[in-house]
A and B are shown apart, each in its own frame.
Chain A
Amino acid sequence: MANVVFEDIQKVYPDGTQAVFDLNLEVDDKEFVILVGPSGCGKSTALRMVAGLEEISGGKMYIGDKVVNDLSPKERDIAMVFQSYALYPHMSVADNMGFALKLAKVDKSEIERRVNEASEILGLNDYLHRKPKALSGGQRQRVAMGRAIVRSPQAFLMDEPLSNLDAKLRVQMRAEIASLQNRLGVTTLYVTHDQVEAMTMGDRVAVLKAGRLQQCDSPQQLYDRPDNLFVAGFIGSPSMNIAEATVRKGDGKVYIELDRGETRLLVPDSALDRYPKAADRDGSKLAIGIRPEHFGPPDSVSTEQVWRGRKVSVVEMLGSEMLVHFHTDSPPIVSEDMKAAIDDADAFEDLQRQAATGGQDFVSKFEPTSPPKIDQAIDVGVKTEHIHFFDPENGLALR
């Protein structure tokens, strides 16, 4: 086992486009780190540079304190799980798993022992003689994992290994891979575009955008203390509500003005302690963020934290919770950050359209009580102690 270190890693393609900029990241021994980001953010490129499948244009890559920039994949002693599983179609499951050992001229009996051991762990015992074609998607995924396990490599590299599975199986394999990694204690670098996968599986999550590392933290830290607007918008589902608002000081208290000054909500000191710079911006426009679960019934907060007369546009009943979309006149932040965080051209266009009309919909999460009617005006309690503040220009958190 070994640690993996990215030191000022760059990737420039021959046509001049740069995919990765100054990437610095340290994956400790036995740690499970997730690289997450919208499509085209350079996360797969970064992983392939660790594997040796992609040339490193600049910086140094270390695996176990050894610079591996110029080493072939073979010499790096890493195992990789591909999105398509990349099983050898002409080999049986056992041969697929033992191929690397066979190439390394490991003893036949030793290969068999290790393949059996891995298939035991993965529950593949009954399929060892089958060809990949005769396996289900989940079984193929397991074989791909098995191929990595039998080698006991320095590190596991996984490139969206679950994205070809159906939703139910994905949830199951998510837990299996996480517990397997934990049990084997192998340094693992895992790439995904799915922020739920990122949140549930990793010890730490590295969020990338357009080839640049945005933040690398534990999942909870990312969720509670996003460093910038992009991370705030990208992590969490449903995503954080982000809008333009003005900070106002009065009577020794701090307020935010929403709906273009129509609404004024009290911001408790605890929120300002987390974002000390926000209070200095008296009278200027900021980007504020509120997570859906930080809304509640009006009686759950003080009267100065109730947002009154919100028109309901959509209600989603999810059984365990109820999502209420309500309208606000607070304009959204339309920036590159938000575009990348949304990672969906249609949804971003929708946001732009809403911005043009001067307002947007907020999503709030409630206990599943009797749902409000569409177009009904409701009062919403806002737990402003959990509010986030960002600079609307550069997107940085106002800490």
Chain B
Amino acid sequence: MGNAVQAVVAIAIGVGGVVALFWVLNAVVERLPKRQEELLKPYVFVGPAIAVVGLFLLYPAILTIWFSFQTRVGTPAQEFTLDNYVYLFTDSRLHSALINNLLWIIVVPTVAVAIGLLVAVLSDRLKPTSEKIAKSLIFMPMAISFVGASTIWLFIYAWRPPEVEQFGLLAALAGLIGDPPATPILQMSDFRLNSFALMAVVIWMQAGFAMVLLSAAIKNVPEDTIEAARIDGASEVQIFWRVTVPQIKSTIVVVTTTILILVLKIFDVPRVMTSGDFDTNVIANIFYDQAFTFGDRGRASVVVVALIVMTLPFMYLNIKRFREQEAQR
């Protein structure tokens, strides 16, 4: 009860405060001479937003870069150092994580978009009711949190020694067909299979997101162009690749980059399912370990800097794409 009241008061103060701020600033500016008023007004309205972004996004980012050049907290003299960068470029655990991250950003967006596209195309041919049911089922995992989804998949991957009855779905299924696996599923040692097992969780969650957007895009493709292609002699496969896909290209790019950025900072799934063990570590998890387990601010910061640098090209692509779309309007 007390919490609810507090929340209401907080919202009232927050929203009211913003309104009051703009109202006061506006009133002040309006008292100025006309020329200065016109000159200042844009800044009055954009200013607070820039200040907030600066305070909560830009300042911490700069601080992080600054920390990445400092020695460990608690060492006698905190000073400028490149040790953290030496760590970044030499630590084998970190490199293993980088390779994992690379695999994640290649595999997850591609497979999620491919599955989403497949479901979108196939469900488009169903009757309206069946289409809704099919799409709802595929979309449902989107509503689950990463931690929740990881827990669900831990049950799927659960493993017990062969002599005991299996309760994990996958192991039990394997037991039905042949022998249950001899080693725990998430502790396989071949070619980062464990990582792929974790990726399946995110693909399972994100395919629905891809499907919803792609399905909407496919429904926007004019039926006429499909029919024209049919008359031009295109087979259904040719129609898909040469007429449908080019017309939904921009949606495919947006969905892919969105999932890609999400995957770039993937943390919850490896953390919950393996804690980064068995060759499944990712950068965000290393950052977490460095910052909160080992308390090494410098190393944690350098990992984050690496992550930011990796994100930049995709951000650039997305913004460029967005600008192009805006320009077309």
Q: Which residues of A are in contact with B by a Cβ distance under 8 Å?
A: 51-53, 72-74, 78-80, 82, 84-91, 99-100, 103-104, 147, 151
Enumerate chain B residues within 8 angstroms of A103, measured Cβ to Cβ. Answer: 232-234, 238
CA distance A104 to B235 in the complex (A): 11
Enumerate chain B residues within 8 angstroms of A80, measured Cβ to Cβ. Answer: 227-228, 231
Are the C-beta atoms of B230 and A74 separated by less than 8 Å?
A: yes
Residue pairs across A and B with Cβ atoms less than 8 A apart, 25 shown, are A52-B230, A74-B230, A74-B234, A74-B235, A79-B231, A80-B227, A80-B228, A80-B231, A85-B224, A86-B227, A86-B228, A88-B225, A88-B228, A88-B247, A90-B246, A90-B247, A90-B249, A99-B229, A99-B232, A100-B233, A103-B232, A103-B233, A103-B238, A104-B233, A147-B228
Are the C-beta atoms of A89 and B227 separated by less than 8 Å?
A: no
Determine whether B121 belongs to the interface, using a CB cutoff of 8 Å to chain A. Answer: no
Taking CB as reference atom, which chain A residue is nearest B221?
A: A89
CA distance A249 to B243 in the complex (A): 70
CA distance A142 to B261 in the complex (A): 44
Q: A14 to chain B: closest CB distance in Å?
A: 12
Interface size on B, residues (CB 8 A): 18
CA distance A103 to B230 in the complex (A): 11
Enumerate chain A residues within 8 angstroms of B246, measured Cβ to Cβ. Answer: 88, 90-91
Main secondary structure of the interface of B (DSSP, over half): helix
Determine whether B222 belongs to the interface, using a CB cutoff of 8 Å to chain A. Answer: yes
Q: A162 to chain B: closest CB distance in Å?
A: 16
Are the C-beta atoms of A82 and B234 separated by less than 8 Å?
A: no
Tell me which of A53, A73, A89, A104 contacts B225 (CB under 8 A).
A89
Are the C-beta atoms of A51 and B231 separated by less than 8 Å?
A: yes
Are the C-beta atoms of B231 and A53 separated by less than 8 Å?
A: yes
Q: A243 to chain B: closest CB distance in Å?
A: 43
Are the C-beta atoms of B227 and A82 separated by less than 8 Å?
A: yes
Taking CB as reference atom, which chain A residue is nearest B228?
A: A86
Are the C-beta atoms of A84 and B233 separated by less than 8 Å?
A: no
Chain B positions 232-263 with a Cβ under 8 Å from a chain A Cβ: 232-235, 238, 242-243, 246-247, 249
Enumerate chain A residues within 8 angstroms of B232, measured Cβ to Cβ. Answer: 99-100, 103, 147, 151
Contact status of A88 and B231, CB under 8 A, knowing A82-B224, A103-B238: no
Enumerate chain B residues within 8 angstroms of A84, measured Cβ to Cβ. Answer: 222, 224
Taking CB as reference atom, which chain B residue is nearest A79?
A: B231
From B225, B233, B235, residue with most partner A Cβ within 10 Å: B233
Q: B328 to chain A: closest CB distance in Å?
A: 8
